[in-house]
Structure 1
Amino acid sequence: MRPIAENLFTSEDPPRLIGGRERETGRVVFPLPQGDRYEAYPLSREGTLWSYTIQRFRPKSPPYAGPETFEPWALGYVELPGETIVEARIANVDFDNIEIGMPLQLTVAVLDRPDADTVAIPAFEPAENAA
């Protein structure tokens, strides 16, 4: 499975997201911007759900290139304490159990379909799932 973008995940196991830390101010952002202003910065694997929505309909094509049979997914903003807020899918949880402030942990999810062209995206799951 290949990442959807270069310089997205660290090579450690389990992986972390690669953010950027501004050299002058120390401000942390995600994703890592190009150029010399930011240095690569491995982000925390743990955070809390700041906000979310449920994608219940198939997005327009293009740009969406997923299968015709659409399965809804949860999309959230996850606050990584002292670092930044990242947007990612919320995985491995029933939609009815999602709550603002819930503790989450980074995982890797399949973008659209598990096949020869499988693409890995960042996702977060409830922290108790990882235990």
Structure 2
Amino acid sequence: MAQQVPLAEDLFTWPAEEPALIGGRSSDGKVVFPYRSHKLVGGVNEELERVELPRRGTLWTFTGQRFRPPSPPYTGDDTPKTFEPFAVGYVELPGALRVEARLTEADPDKLHIGQEMELRIVPFGTDADGNQTLIYAFAPVGAEEGHGDGSE
């Protein structure tokens, strides 16, 4: 039976009522995303602490993706004819870092730098086993669940 699965391991907590991105924190307090188990810190290969990142942040910058990215590596279920433009941006997560992500709102007139954003998990494609793959995205705070995320 088909399931909903993250596009890649260790991107976000799933399944979860309030999913969070997974990062890694080193002894110097720096955070990396996506999570990886080790990082060089002061010339030493250090094991990172696995941490859940804040679910909300502010839109730092954004742009529109008006054409279907080349495949591979893009693995969406759309085709050049069915592709729908989307926005991509950097969201600054307080006390952590800036994360590059798809935005659920594609209309640039409805986005502005400094806008509060919240993590969402949205459908992306289908894997080789027929499971629905999921990716992380950020939505403007106050946007209704399920709207503007391409899953309608």
- Superposition TM-score tier, normalisation by shorter sequence: 0.7 to 0.9
Residue from 81, 84, 96 that aligns with 2:109: 96
Residue from 24, 28, 35 that aligns with 1:20: 24
Matches within 5 A, 1:1-131: 1-11=4-14, 12-22=16-26, 24-35=27-38, 36-66=46-76, 67-68=78-79, 69-92=82-105, 94-112=107-125, 116-129=130-143
Contact 1:105 1:130 in 2 (8 A): no
Contact 2:21 2:55 in 1 (8 A): yes
Secondary structure in 1 aligned to 2:137?
Answer: strand
After superposing on structure 2, the runs of 4+ consecutive aligned residues of structure 1 that deviate more than 4 Å are none
AA aligned opposite 1:34: S
Secondary structure in 2 aligned to 1:58?
Answer: coil
CA deviation map 1:45-87 (0-9, x unaligned): 0100001111001111222233212111111100001111111
- Separation in 2 of the partners of 1:17 and 1:130? 20
Distance 1:84 1:72, change over 3 A: same
Cα offset, 1:93, TM superposition:
5.8
- Separation in 2 of the partners of 1:78 and 1:60? 24
Contact 2:105 2:111 in 1 (8 A): no
Structure of greater Rg: 2
Contact 2:59 2:112 in 1 (8 A): yes
Contact 2:63 2:87 in 1 (8 A): yes
Contact 1:49 1:76 in 2 (8 A): yes
- Separation in 1 of the partners of 2:74 and 2:101? 16
The number of aligned residues is: 128
Contact 2:10 2:22 in 1 (8 A): yes
What is the root-mean-square deviation of aligned Cα atoms in Å?
Answer: 1.9
Secondary structure in 2 aligned to 1:7?
Answer: coil
Contact 1:105 1:126 in 2 (8 A): yes
TM-score w.r.t. structure 1 length?
0.87
TM-score w.r.t. structure 2 length?
0.76
